[in-house]
Structure 1
């Protein structure tokens, strides 16, 4: 018969005993898939060699047991389900024969002919779970479809499920009447969606803001700094260093969602730019780069609009106050520079610590962070004073508080655009001079990287980048601090 003849079922693994044979990379993948979908599953792992990563994963779950030995038929006596993750042909045949004798369902990794059930790709949105099957023909296609559904289904869908359950429990009448009512409520899910006016007009808002902000910035520069005109025709070699730096820092920021401010500020301070001018350069460059990045995330549907509204105003207020205070202390930059270097040193350590926690399973995760306004206010203020930290503080706090990483990243990028715009205008109003070659290099370099970074963010090893960035920031910050101490003493 043609077509997919498989019958899909969802198994309560917490009520049965699963035996996993093999503890190598494939065994690790199978165990991770089982536990991610059923954390309370009762699993016995049998293998001669056990991968350290698998042992570490199993240690986090009370009902997972590892028995380090050769497989024997008796291992299946009390099994209800069998998963084989070995590349031993003879052993696989033995497992299939012994499973058939005991009427057990068994799955073999990359051996569809031996299987009598498959492990499909899973899309999970809270209580909603979708299994994808290609009839064993192409796991790669299943994974790609999983990515499409993960991106296409909104995170709020789980809230909708909760609301539907509450509605169902309040309905009276017979079964047919309940079904009719629920169909009416859910019909919006399959009809053409009405586009929110805020979302529909956002592209005009952000592009208009970009154009107007640069008109204001260039006009202010031209009026307040006659030397700015010469930089348009005679570029200092420093420009090219900051052009390269801006591009690299924006690519890093696009990959991990943070560190553009801290890396750019550390680099600027090391190149002799005063703290206030360094922060102004960073924020000016972030107007265009974050405008483009925000637009890209908007196009990809990576924005939580409620979170956006909660962060925006407090973030702007904090940024303006921070920019005002730092500009007022520009004449004391000899003393503020080491303070900012200490701040970037701390952020470098934070980035390093986060790099080594990426793959660790968080036990007993806390609920979502509630005080979004205070987080935005604090993040905006520290970001303006230190030349960076919005991503490190706000994005990290949102993700650590249990919010979706992709939507948090997109929302933080969009709010960052408006915060960078307002803090930049504050710096321009307050400062009498700036290092325009550094500003121009950061602006152009980061703008060139932004659309690229938004697309490649999922194709780079985040841990490697974060370790490299953390080490670099720590070393540069230490250099600035040590230089200050040697000059003073």
Structure 2
């Protein structure tokens, strides 16, 4: 047993490691905390998809709040883009939460993992083709709706889906990252509240604490990594990691 101030850390060590690894990638890449965390919990630890998504979004309430404030102070938020993403994103998040809490976890698990594997392949392709062809950003509201829905139903994906799409369409990278991260705070807050309504909160404290500890511990290292690894390399590495991990989870679920 590993105790700190009388609290047994043993059961939450896997979640601390997951939070640390996911935040390392997210800090260096600016996306994928939710996708990586959810993939490892569902695919490797066998956590039910709805419970994994709930844990991810509760943790992201802390990480996205910090990120949003930082981007606001640095002037990285496009107000017009913010509101065009906010409302459809929240609506999509509520719909995704309703879906994942209304379906049996064992039934939906393989499909969640297929979605996560798809995100991994998309990031891998985007990394191999980086930098993307510059185009004008369009269809922002539908993108927010889909991104919010997939984020809640899949336990992550707002950043990879929305940020990547806007960047590929040619939007200003600094404004895209800042705006998408700021909207994500309100999205995760809404999704977390919806999950608490459907699932309660008493049974997740330990695992959620582990993810928060790991995420906070990794934050400075992720920022350092961002200075040394190119976006192309990180996209490729994350794409490979997500694809392989999700494929293993699919094989386990249907094997």
TM over 0.5: yes
Deviations 1:89-115 (A, max 9, x none): xxxxxxxxxxxxxxxxxxxxxxxxxxx
Q: Specify every segment of 5 or more residues in structure 1 that has no aligned partner in the other structure, as ranges.
A: 1-231
Match of 2:251 among 448, 464, 482: 482
**Mapping 1:3-152, distance limit 5 Å:** none
The secondary structure found in structure 2 opposite 1:416 is helix
Q: How far is 1:257 from its partner?
A: 2.1
Q: Deviations over 1:161-189 (max 9, x none)?
A: xxxxxxxxxxxxxxxxxxxxxxxxxxxxx
1:111-151 per-position Cα deviation (integer Å, ceiling 9, x unaligned):
xxxxxxxxxxxxxxxxxxxxxxxxxxxxxxxxxxxxxxxxx
Q: Does residue 1:254 correspond to 2:35, yes or no?
A: no
2: CA distance, partners of 1:472 / 1:235 = 30
CA contact (8 A) 1:293 1:454 kept: no
Structure 2: give runs of 5+ residues left out of the alignment.
Answer: none
C-alpha contact 2:89 2:187 (8 A) present in aligned 1: yes
Distance 1:414 1:453, change over 3 A: farther
**Closer, same or farther: CA 352–454 of 1 in aligned 2, 3 Å:** same
* Alpha-carbon distance in structure 1 between the residues aligned to 2:91 and 2:159: 17
The answer on 1:392 being equivalent to 2:166 is: no
| Residues 458 and 336 of structure 1, relative CA distance in 2, 3 Å threshold | same
Aligned residue number for residue 368 of structure 1: 137
Residue equivalent to 2:124: 352
Distance in structure 1 (CA, Å) of the matches to 2:171 and 2:227: 18
The structure-2 alpha-carbon separation of the partners of 1:308 and 1:454, relative to structure 1 and needing over 3 Å to count, comes to farther
8 Å contact 2:28–2:224 — kept in the other structure?
no
Give matches, 1:461-472, under 5 Å: 461-472=230-241
Using the TM superposition, give the Cα deviation of residue 266 of structure 1 relative to its aligned residue in structure 2, in angstroms.
0.6
Moved over 3 A (4+): 232-236, 432-436, 447-459
State the Cα deviation string for residues 296-327 of structure 1 (Å, max 9, x = none).
Answer: 22222211121111111111111112112211
SS at structure 2 position matched to 1:258:
coil
Partner of 1:457: 226
Candidates 244, 254, 262, aligned match of 2:17: 244
Aligned to 1:436: 205
What is the number of equivalent residue pairs in this alignment?
A: 249
Q: For CA contacts below 8 A with separation 6 or more, give which structure has more relative contact order.
A: 2
Q: CA deviation at 1:453?
A: 4.2
Question: TM-score w.r.t. structure 1 length?
Answer: 0.48
User: Per-residue CA shift, 1:201-244, capped at 9, x if unaligned?
Assistant: xxxxxxxxxxxxxxxxxxxxxxxxxxxxxxx9643524122112
- SS class of match (2:123): helix
Evaluate the alpha carbon distance shift between residue 457 and residue 307 of structure 1 in structure 2; reply closer, same or farther with a 3 A threshold: farther
Structure 2 CA distance for aligned equivalents of residues 344 and 406 of structure 1: 26
2:113 corresponds in structure 1 to: 341
Q: Which has the higher strand share?
A: 1
Residue number in structure 2 paired with 1:410: 178
Is the Cα–Cα contact under 8 Å of residues 315 and 419 in structure 1 kept in the other structure? yes
CA RMSD of the aligned region, Å?
A: 2.1
Distance in 2 (alpha carbons) for counterparts of 1:441 and 1:336: 25
- Per-residue deviation at 1:437? 2.7
| Equivalent residue, structure 2, for 1:424 | 192
User: 1:253: Cα distance to partner?
Assistant: 1.4
Greater C-alpha radius of gyration: 1
Distance 1:454 1:320 in 2: 31
Q: Which position in structure 2 is the counterpart of 1:383?
A: 151
The 3 A distance-change label for structure 1 pair 238 and 470 is farther
**Inter-partner Cα distance in structure 1 for 2:184 and 2:98:** 18
Deviations 1:424-471 (A, max 9, x none): 110011014644332221123224444664576344322222222222
Distance of 1:334 and 1:295 partners within structure 2: 38
Tell whether the 8 Å contact from 2:96 to 2:148 is kept in structure 1 after alignment: yes
Distance 2:41 2:220 in 1: 23
CA distance in 2, matches of 1:450, 1:317: 30
Q: Is the 8 A contact 2:28 2:226 kept in 1?
A: yes
The structure whose residues are more often helix, as a share, is 2
1:219 alignment partner in structure 2? none
Distance 1:443 1:337 in 2: 24
Counterpart-to-counterpart distance in 2, 1:415 and 1:448: 24
Report if the CA contact (8 A) 1:289-1:450 is conserved: no
| Correspondence for 1:282 | 56
